[in-house]
Structure 1
């Protein structure tokens, strides 16, 4: 009897021990469940903190934040704003009226349209003054930034070259700048960029030769002739090619096309007999005065006159165009045009206000 009773007591102790272990396991599981529900949303307590029950349409803040961030990048399904809109409004940390509008300018041509004053370290000229006045009238925060015209670097605004032909600049394509000041819309440029309203009257292009035309250049027949063009400018070989109805050999072979980065380079090339003629705009007055016009005016280069060139998705025209119309009627604009004659021409080449200003 006593032996069986001892066995029963041993089994009872083992049963109690197993029961205790099971209870501890269940308690641990319950604690983990409460802790997890607290972390992802639901009833508490968890981690020793009081919790609450989420409503049927509520969600934890972390889960909500993740969902909204993912939805922001859904462009086609309407779950959130397009990527472009999000990046555009937060670019450089500015949004709305605080945004800085960057205006790229080329200063390779020191003229009364655009120049850089070494003494003051500031930009000046008609284009600068008009653009600044328009920004002020529109209440926009604009900044002028220098864009490099070095042929060894990628073009910032526009480029034409023997190697690449006509192409848009990386500065505009990559949104490093909002606009390039003083660019005319051409048939080729219009395929890549948009333009604001013009800020000057439309200019014309001509063929130019040395005084007296010593080589008897005939612009009606370009077969076998070498023509000098300026990079970046709208007076490109495509413009000449559109005149096939009145010019023989208007579509030039690549061996006939020579590009130069500076106007003086064309003058020097004519002197060295490297080219038969130069093709450029009459707004390059300093160069054209040293040469002789050798053709009728060519009107197939531009769709309109110089303006601001922008990406097609840039909204700058929405505020620039109406503000420009206001500026053109203002006393400030008359003062700007007076400066073109009275101030800029005293030390810089360029055309008079009669050819530069609108409505004069």
Structure 2
């Protein structure tokens, strides 16, 4: 029988603790069988880093008419920044409020400044420098994470970001959402997968870390469609991935559709099966920043189970243990 490096590492990590076996997964010091964000940060920094969401006042090219109107059909009017406390305030005030909130839970936490709302490189470079560069000098900021679109990054902006990456680590987060172009068009994304693939190639070798977001349960998508999206993520090899369930938000275009004619959504059980199938084919070293999103109860139409994030996460843990499986167990570099 052929043993991979992951198999060998797994055996080393298999030891009893408090009457049960720890995860066979190499990138874990708990029962987790996937490469959690908290584990990755703890390995690098030795302590908690809190991700502080910030709104710098940008928009998106599929909102302002450049690529379309109305934004992505699944996006709320806040451009996916629904956890932001004080949008529109001075960035420093937003940051201090977010850090104060985080330190009530983790008193010694440092911070990741997370530009979350809309497309945070959708502006001329001089404006980006004026808005974003000061954040790199803030003492409590350990990393800067910038959510954007692949069609809002060009060679000049990537060069500047690679320079800023020498000051503090830079993450670029982009929404792949689906590897199926028909779904991307139906969701009014305003770009196809080939643009994202090209952007990922441009970012390679710059030192800038990348995180791709995918959404399970988009209208019309089959299990195989969602698996193909995960295979594309595996081939692109971002440093991290966020896996979300589709949230039907009341102030989104999809929300309007759903009110008029409800479409089928994944049950929690179906979602857990799909996530575990996806984790099995992702490279084990890829950090999984999320395996489900934060459903905001106030503006969530469906599915109601998404507000219980911890229940979903525990169900994923149980399913992987039941399968005796883990992230990367079925990963093939050539898939």
- TM-score of the aligned structures, taking structure 2 as reference length: 0.29
Question: Which structure is larger by alpha-carbon Rg, 1 or 2?
Answer: 1
